[in-house]
Structure 1
Amino acid sequence: MTRAWLAAATAVVWFCGTNLPLLAQGASWESYCAPCGVNPGCSTCGPTGADAGAAYGYGAGCAGDSAYSGGSCYGSDAAACGVAYPSCAAPAPPSAVWSFSLGALYLQRDHGNNYAFSYDDPNEDLQYLNQRDADFSGGMGFETRLARYDACTKHGLELVYWQLLPTDEEAMVLGSSLAGNLSAILNYDQLDYSGATADNFTNNAFAHRLRREMDVYNVEANHGIVLTDACGSGATVASLVGFRLFRFDERLQFASDPNDSMFTYETDELYYDIDTQNLLVGCQLGGSVNRPMTGCFSLTAVAKAGVFGNFCESSSRISGAAGTATINNGPNNGASWMVSNDKVDVAMMAEMALGFAYQPTRRWRLTADYRVIGVSGVALPTNQIYHDLRGINDVALLQTNGHVILHGAYLGMERCF
């Protein structure tokens, strides 16, 4: 199923990338290719004055406005904003501006739900190895963006891709650090493993270890329309509509070793592995604001949200080097403890970002923002754990009641051409 949905997602991305390149986040395309201190929002179709020659390669120092006022686009906008365009032998500069940006991301994830795996036998109130002990402190990533804005039609298109580099965290507790014995909270005595009940490998253990891994990928294809011109010192406001694909994968592993703290996948070690995958595909609506400030600075804001289909999968297994554990009683007696499932559900996603931009030259711009991304309706590993390990039929019911919040900073560079 995963390959089929990835193929479908690739087709959607190809369609969006071909027909709807994405709207640059928080960008004011009318500010590109103009000198600092000049607000070219008064010119809907390109840079003003002699800078048209400097930015686009035409001859500078031309006089008059005959070459630029012949069409309604250039003439009416020039008159409305009091802009005099020079006369040149070359045609008017192109109204469409392309930009490309590349930058670094640093995102943190909110705390997951409280879920402990170990306790100090015989006092179960003393619980250890909570999944928050292996929280994701923060992950590095990158973002790239290709955008096109037509100043005459005031329509913009963009294609965005960002991802976080694979992140993993680990926590461990030793039996020697407890007053009693280190034991597992789940009832491993209901399972058999390597010729004995599985609690022989999890209770009165030397060490328990918890490991978590996370992967995040994002693709967007958006179309935007500039609603207001930034004449003078006003703000440029644009609407946004588009497609989005968001991939969120998380893996969790609880491991127990009764003899030492070196987890080397020996036969005396038992592992509980849970792997969840979420592929969100859907549409989003939103908008952006760019507010010019003094000099080369401007403030930016972006908000977007949508409803998505979540094509999710999950797999769970309790096993080790000696094979997969089996249930030793009840209606599922003799069944191997290995479950895989998938379903399609509804998820919601929203994103907000506040930042600023600094434009040192006519073609280069530095951007920075702080963003928050919230997702609900996703499958997370701890939501797939059933309290009675005999109930693999309950584990087979994929739970998508989890939520994820990512927040952090972005710093990048843009160039128009």
Structure 2
Amino acid sequence: MKTFLSVPGALAGLLSATALFAQSPGDIYQSSAYRPGATYYAEPSAPAKLWSQPTANVSYKPEASLEPVQGDKAYMDALEGKPEELGPPSMPGIEQSVLSSGSYDSGSCDSGNCYGTEVYGDFCQPCSRWFAYGGALIMNRDLEKEVWLSYDDADIGRQVMGTHDAGMDWSGGYEIRLGQYTGCGTWAWEGVFWAIRDTTEFQVLDTQVTGNLNTVLEDAFQGLSYNDGGGLANIEDYYNNALSHRLRRTSDFYNIELNMFQDPTMYSCNTGCSTFSVGVLGGVRYFRFAESLSYSADTVDYSYDGQVDEVHYDVDVSNNLIGPQIGFIGNLSHGCWNVHLGTKLGIYGNIVTQDSELYGANGYAVVDNAASPNDGEQFDLSSSRGRVTFLGEMDLGVDYKVFNCLTFTGGYRALAVSGVGLAADQIPQNFEDFAVINDVQASSDVILHGAYLGGEFVW
């Protein structure tokens, strides 16, 4: 820059020296380059517009003041070699449009107001802002391959109860999030927790069938006996010709995540009226899916109140997934409205546990078969195994920015998990074979899907 500016400076000095020499041939003046304390006469102006120099001619007087003539400051600085003073730095690549709720614009969705931000030019740049979300969920899950449990012995083709009869209904839950924008809004971290719980029950009475109310598991129950106080009796004697059969199932989902994501800035395209942007996400997730199945029979009455004549077959299974995940976030914004699409995919280690027991108020059923290696053992089994599980999630929703710091959001979410254990998968063909029962079955899939609605507050 100094080299470039010295050319017009030297030319101006040459012209000045030539003019002065013509007026007073006997005097030779020193160079016109400005130096503090130097004595020189005013020089003619630079070419118009080059340094915003006034274009009016300057008169020359041999008796001019020894003080430098104060011309345009930029011109003087240029002659001295000082760099030009720069204004506030521009921020290339940042769009002024709102990318998503809680992003760059913290004013109303159609104004440039800033709150808790630094201002560069015409846009607001958040540096450190917190956000919190709270909302409700209503979701359902797909069901496993049905296992039939009860039938009418007068109509063997009529299956009166199966595992789907107490399948999960649409169930409510809740979700909370807490996070902070960092890097002047470019990145953010968030913690996520949501949970859904469901309990369903189905009961069949002997008055609802033509013949006797029997169990499909009668052959599998061979070899197990229960003592209700009158001596050991085979378990099938409690389930066959019963007054009622009851099936109760629970499904519990718990999700914890810690994610770092762009808000989003990996790619953006502004058409003037709308903005489309894409960002990336990475983090870790802990996901727990647990379900239980309880198949009960009562040969005395129609209520289950803990009497010794009631027997229960319970299976409890839990899947505990933990591992990394990655994903993408897409936003299409127009004014106060925003449509977002998010995806997540992870590979997890899954610890699957199962507990199986068959019991009544007087204790556990026992193996009552002298030919069995488990003869005399109680039917109270627990086991676990580890395996690799995949989990994918898709989230499609709409956001509406109501106030500067409040956004309402709603949408649809679907989550699919492969390689999990289900309660119905643990029902054996032979209840005497403890080795088979302790070999946890974990090769099923679960899809959880439904709607959500909530609000996000940014401060």
Higher radius of gyration, 1 or 2 = 2
| Separation (CA, whole Å) in 2 of partners of 1:262 and 1:101 | 44
1:278 matches 2:319: yes
Gaps of 5+ in 1: 1-25, 39-47, 58-66, 69-73, 86-92
1:393 aligns with 2:432: no
Give secondary structure in 2 for the equivalent of 1:394.
Answer: helix
Map of 1:368 onto structure 2: 410
Aligned to 2:379: 337
Task: Please tell me whether residue 324 in structure 1 is matched to residue 368 in structure 2.
Answer: no
Tell me how far 1:84 sits from its aligned partner.
Answer: 6.9
| TM, length-normalised to structure 2 | 0.72
Percent identical:
33
Distance 1:123 1:190 in 2: 26
Q: Which residue of 1 aligns with 2:116?
A: 56
Q: Is residue 127 of structure 2 the alignment partner of residue 95 of structure 1?
A: yes
| RMSD value, Cα | 2.0
Residue 104 of structure 1: how far off its partner (Å): 0.8
- How does the TM-score come out when normalised to structure 1? 0.79
Q: CA 1:153–1:211 in 2, change beyond 3 Å: closer, same or farther?
A: closer
In the TM superposition, what is the alpha-carbon distance from 1:101 to its structure 2 partner? 0.9
Equivalent residues of 1:222, 1:243 under 8 A apart? yes
Question: Are 1:358 and 2:400 an aligned pair?
Answer: yes
Residue of structure 1 aligned with 2:222, choices 183, 189, 207 = 189
Distance 1:171 1:84, change over 3 A: closer
Identify the residue that residue 220 of structure 1 maps to in structure 2.
257
For the pair 1:290 / 2:331, whether they are aligned, the reply is: yes
Query: Superposed, which structure 2 residues align to 1:23-62 within 5 Å?
Result: 27-38=100-111, 48=112, 51-52=113-114, 55-56=115-116
- Three-state SS of the structure 1 residue aligned to 2:103 is helix
* CA gap 1:415/1:114 in 2 versus in 1, 3 angstroms: same
* 1:28 and 1:236 in contact (8 A); partners too: no
Runs of 5+ unmatched residues, structure 2:
1-98
Q: Which amino acid aligns with 1:101?
A: Y
How do 1:15-26 residues align onto structure 2 when only pairs under 5 Å count?
none
* Whole-angstrom CA distance in 2 between matches of 1:31 and 1:366: 17
What is aligned with 1:299? 339
CA distance in 1, matches of 2:234, 2:100: 62
What SS does the corresponding residue of 2:281 show, helix, strand or coil? strand
Deviations 1:147-185 (A, max 9, x none): 222364722211111111x32000011122112211111
Asked if 1:154 is matched to 2:178, the reply is no
- 1:126 paired with 2:158, answer yes
Report matched runs for 1:2-21 at 5 Å: none
Q: Which has the higher contact order (CA 8 A, sep 6+)?
A: 1
**Partner of residue 168, structure 1:** 199
Contact 1:341 1:396 in 2 (8 A): yes
Which residue does the alignment assign to 1:71? none
Q: Give the aligned partner of residue 265 of structure 1.
A: 306
- 3-state SS in 2 of match to 1:309: strand
SS class of match (1:235): strand
Please name the residue that 1:249 is paired with.
290
Instruction: Name which of structure 1's ranges 126-135 and 243-252 shifts more when overlaid on structure 2.
Output: 126-135
C-alpha distance in structure 2 between counterparts of 1:101 and 1:84, whole Å: 26
Does residue 349 of the first structure (1) align with residue 391 of the second (2)? Answer: yes
